[in-house]
A and B are shown apart, each in its own frame.
Chain A
Amino acid sequence: MSRFGMRGAALIAAGLAGTLAISACSGQSLEGGGDKAADGQVTLKVNFWGDMGLDALKAAYEKEHPNVKIVLNSGEYNAQHEDLQKKLVAGSGAPDISAVDEGFMVQFRGQADKFVNLLDKGAATYESKYLPWKWQQSKSADGKQIGLGTDVGGLAMCYRSDLFKKAGLPTERDAVSKLWPTWDDFINVGKQYVDKTGKKFVDSATNMFNPVLAQQPQGFYNEQDQLQMEAGPKVAFEISMKAVKAGLSANLVSFQPNWDQGFKKDQFAVLACPAWMIGHIQDTAPDQKGKWDIAAIPGGGGNWGGSWWTIPKQGKNQDEAYKFVEWMIQPQQQIEVFKTVGNLPSQPALYKDPAVLDYKKEFMSNAPTGQIFASTAENLKPQYLGKRNGPTRVAVENVITRVQQGSLAPDSAWPEAVKEATKAANS
C-alpha cells in the first residue's frame, strides 16, 4: 500500500503543479483587467441597446472628469436584459451601469437587493422632477429606488412623405394625422397605398401589435401578474391580423439586417414611432434625411418603451457610477440626448423648456418633435407590465411572424398566440 500511496502522492503533486499553473494564469488576467488602476483611474462600463445618444455625452463627461473612462457597450435589446439577469445571480460580471427597459423593469425591481438603492445616494431630490408614474415604476415594493428614468416612449407615426406623395396621399403632417383617427382608418389608408404603388405599407405587423397593445388599459398581465390574453392583447392581435390580411405588411423582423435593408429599399412607408425610434431611423438610413415626417398615431396616445439607468450592487465604483448617472439625467444632458437621437425625457419640466418645445428635427423634415412627443407624454396612462412581459411579447411576436411568413392562417392564429404566450408565462 505504501507504494500505492507514493503513486498517489506523485499524482497529487503533479495535479497541484497543474492547478497552480492554471490559477497562476487566471490570476494574472484577473488582475490585469482590474477596474481601478493605481493612479485613481476609474473605468465605468455602461450596458444598453440601440442608440441612447451616449457617444457625445461620453466625450463631454470624460473631458470634465479626466480620471473617468467610460466604456459603452450596446447590444441586442433582449440579450442585454437576460445578460444582466445572469450576472446579477452569478454575483459578478455585471456592468457598472445598466439600462433597463420598462418591459423588464418589474422583473428587476423584484430583485432590488441586487441594485444600489439610489435613495441612499441622494436620488430623492429628483423625485419631484419626474413624471410620477415613471418614478414609481422603478421602485421596489419595499420602497427602494433602483433606477433613474431616462426617457419615455410617447407614440407617434413616422411616415415617408416622398412615398406618400407618389401614392397621391397628403404629405403635410396635420393632413396625414387626419387620415387615420382610428386603426381601421389606418388600415384603409394602407390599402389605398398598396393598391396605388404595389408596395407594402408597414414594416411588420408586430410594429402594429406593440403600439396598439400599448394603448390598451391593460397589457399582457394584470397587477397580480396573471396573463390576460383576452383583454388588451386580443384587440392588438386582431388589428395586426387585419393588416396582414389586407397585405399591408412587408413582413420584416424589426431591428434586424433585413429590416435595415427594408429602409433603404423603400419597402415600407410608415413606422410606428415611439420617440426613441427616431434615433433608429437616422442611424439606419442616414441618407433619407428630409424624407421622413411625423404624424399622430391612430387611436391616440400610448407609451412604448422607455428606460432607466440602474447601478448593480456588485460594481466596485458605485459612487463614480452614480455621479455619472446623476449627470446624465440633468436637464442639459437630457435635452442633448433628445436632440441627437430623439429620446423624450421623462421629466415634465423639460416639456415646457423652449429648448425642447421649439426644437425642430431636421432629419424628420423639421418636424417639431418636442411639441409632438411632449403632448403625448403628458397624457400617458402607464400600463402594468408583468415579470414575464419580455418573453411573452417575444412569443406573441413570433406567432405574428409565422402568420406573415404564411405558415399560419391569420384566422386560426389567435389560439396559437394564446398557447405560446401561456407557455412563455410559465416557462
Chain B
Amino acid sequence: MSLTHKAPPVVPQDSEPHPPATPPKHKLWFYRFDTKRTPYVFISPFFILFAIFGLFPIVFNGIVALRTWRLDDPDRNGWAGFDNFERLLHDEDFWNALGNTFGIFILSTVPQLLIALMVANLLNRKLRGTTWWRVGVLLPYVTPIAASTLVFAVFFSRDNGMANWLLSLVGFTDLGDPLDWRAYKWSSWIAIATMVNWKWIGYNALLYLSAMQAIPKDVYEAAAVDGAGPWRQLWRITVPMIRPVVIFTVVLSTIGGLQLFNEPMLFEANPAAATGGSNGQWQTIAQLIYKVGWKDLNLGYAAAMSWALFLIILIVAALNAFITNRLGGGRR
C-alpha cells in the first residue's frame, strides 16, 4: 500500500501550474495507468502462468495428499487426514527409494562437479580450436535423455554389453560369467550415475568457464610470481572467485539429482515396470511416486510422497548451499 501513497510526480507537475489546461480525464487516467500499472502488466504473464502451472498443482497436490483417491477403486475416496503421511513413515519401499536416491545423487553430483571444474579449468587455458572444445563438451547436454539412456541401457547390459567387454579387457570381469549390472545396488547405481555425469559435466563446465573468464588475469600472475602452481591456483584463486556459480550448480544438481526419473526408468529391462529392478535396487523416489500413482493407481499416497520429496529437496538444497558457501570461504 505504501507504493500507492506516493503520488506520481509527472501528473501533478504537469497539471498544477496550468489549471485551465487540465488534460481530459481519460488521458489523465491513461498516463497514470501507463506509469504505475503497465510494468505489472508486463511481468504478469510469468506470475499467471506460475499460478496455473506451478502454484495450483502444488496446492492441489497438498489437498490430494490428505485424501484417499484410488483410480482402481473409485468408490474409495474421502478425507484421509494424515494417514498417507503416517503410512509413509513405515513404508520400506519409501525408505529404500530414499536411500537409492541419495546414493545415486552422491555418486553423480560429487564427481560431476569436480570433473566439470577440471574440464572448465582446462578449457580456460589457451587451446587450439577453443570453440570446438566448448561445443564438444556441451554435446551430451543437447542429446535427448531418452535416446542417450537407451544407448546406455544397452551399454550396461549383462549379455553382450560394452561395459562388461571393456571391464573384461582389463581383467575385471569374465565374459563367461558376466556382471549383471541390474542385479545389485552398487552396480546399478554406478551405471545410472554414469549416465547423469555424462550428460551434465559439460553443462556445468561451461557455467564454471564463464565465471572463470571474469577473473582478472593479474590475480593469477601475482600468484604465479609468488610461486603458486596450477593446482594451488585452482583451489585458492579460481574456486573462491567463482563461488556464486559453484553454489548455483550445487543447488541445481541437488534438485536434479533428487528428482532423478528418466534414467532409472529407462534403465529397467521393462521400462514400463517402474520398479527400479527386481527388488527396487535403483528405484528412486520420483520413480516410486510414479509407480504408486500411475501403476498402483493410489493417487492420494503418491501425492503425499511428492510433498515429502519437496520438503526433502528444500532441506538438502539449503544444506548444500550452506556447506558449499562455507567450503568456498564465504563468511555468511
Chain A contacts for B273, CB-based, 8 A: 78, 394
Let me know if A365 is at the binding interface, CB within 8 A: no
Identify the stretch in A12-20, A186-194, A276-284 within 8 Å (CB) of chain B at 4 or more residues. A12-20
Please tell me if B4 contacts chain A, counting CB pairs below 8 Å: yes
B residues with CB within 8 A of A:
1, 4, 33, 36-37, 40-41, 44-45, 48-49, 52, 71-72, 74, 154, 157-160, 180, 182-184, 269-273, 275, 278-279, 292, 294-298
Contact (Cβ within 8 A) B159 A14 = no
Residues of A within 8 A of B49 (CB): 18
A340 CA / B252 CA spacing, docked (Å): 53
Given contacts A18-B48, A253-B269, A398-B278, contact A407 B183 (CB under 8 A): yes
How far is the CB of B278 from the nearest CB of chain A, in Å? 4
Q: Which residues of B contact A79 (CB under 8 A)?
A: 272
> A215 to nearest B CB, angstroms?
25
A394 to B292, CA, bound (A): 14
Closest to A391 in B: B296
A82–B270 CB distance below 8 A? no
Contact A82 B294 (CB under 8 A): yes
- Inter-subunit contact A18/B184 (CB<8 Å): no
- B37, A6: Cβ atoms closer than 8 Å: yes
Which residues on the A side are within 8 Å of B157 (C-beta)? 257-258
From B36, B160, B296, contact of A427 by CB (8 A): B296
**Nearest CB to that of B280 among chain A residues?**
A398
Chain A nearest CB, measured from B284 CB (Å): 17
Residues of B within 8 A of A6 (CB): 33, 37
Pick the 3 closest A-B CB pairs, nearest first.
Answer: A405-B183, A401-B278, A79-B272
Number of residues on chain A facing chain B (CB within 8 A) = 42
Residues of A within 8 A of B296 (CB): 391, 427
A-B contacts, 26 of them at CB < 8 A, read: A4-B4, A7-B40, A10-B40, A14-B48, A15-B44, A15-B48, A19-B48, A76-B272, A78-B273, A79-B272, A82-B295, A82-B297, A111-B74, A253-B269, A255-B270, A256-B270, A257-B154, A257-B269, A258-B159, A258-B269, A262-B159, A394-B273, A402-B278, A405-B183, A408-B279, A427-B296
* Chain A contacts for B154, CB-based, 8 A: 257
Measured CB to CB, the closest approach of chain A to B74, in angstroms, equals: 6
**For residues 352 through 400 of chain A, which have their beta carbon under 8 Å from a beta carbon of chain B?**
391, 394, 398-399
Chain B min CB distance to A257 (Å): 8
Given the known interface contacts A3-B4, A402-B278, the answer about A10 and B41 at a Cβ–Cβ threshold of 8 Å is yes
